[in-house]
Structure 1
């Protein structure tokens, strides 16, 4: 059962990294540090969008629309942290 706990924590770590990478990449593209016309940047950007947009869309349906600020990544990160806390608090059940 310890292995299951570690696998779940690894999945949450990867999800957290992917969301943070998407947020940082969006900032770099919006501030024109990175150019979306570069093939590598475009592949990473569109791949992350394809992977995360279904998650973000579900969150956007639940929260009210704000003018120009997207809180969906923040809410997804908070949900990941909440799942980590729940798993850590119930870690004894995995041993």
Structure 2
């Protein structure tokens, strides 16, 4: 069971990094720091969008319009960390706790 928790934590951490990268890239595109006509930037943006958008869209639909400020990645990161901590709280760290 500990290996499954480790795998879940690792996937959550990697997805959080992808969310942060997506948010940073969207800021860089919005402020014209990077150009989306560059094929590499466009490809990276497309991959990040396809990975994060299916998870962020339901959160964006629930949130009110904040005038161009998107806080859905922050809410998703908080939810992922909460679920991870909750999993650690309810699953014992030592597999031999109940064997005694």
Which 5+ residue runs of structure 2 have no aligned equivalent? 96-100
Which has a greater percent of helix? 1
Which 5+ residue runs of structure 1 have no aligned equivalent? none
Partner of 1:63: 63
Superposition TM-score, scaled by structure 2 size? 0.84
RMSD: 1.6
Larger radius of gyration: 2
**Which runs of at least 4 in structure 1 moved beyond 6 Å after TM superposition?**
none
Change (3 A) 1:41 1:88: same
CA-CA distance at 1:14 after TM superposition: 1.0
Change (3 A) 1:40 1:94: farther
How many positions carry a matched residue from both structures?
95
Partner of 2:80: 80
CA-CA distance at 1:93 after TM superposition: 6.0
Are 1:44 and 2:44 counterparts?
yes
Partner of 1:4: 4
C-alpha deviations, 1:40-64, integer Å up to 9, x for none?
Answer: 1100101111221111110012111
Q: Give yes or no for contact 2:2–2:93 (8 Å, CA) kept in 1.
A: no
Higher relative contact order, chain-length normalized (CA < 8 Å, sep 6+): 1
CA-CA distance at 1:13 after TM superposition: 0.7
Superposition TM-score, scaled by structure 1 size? 0.88
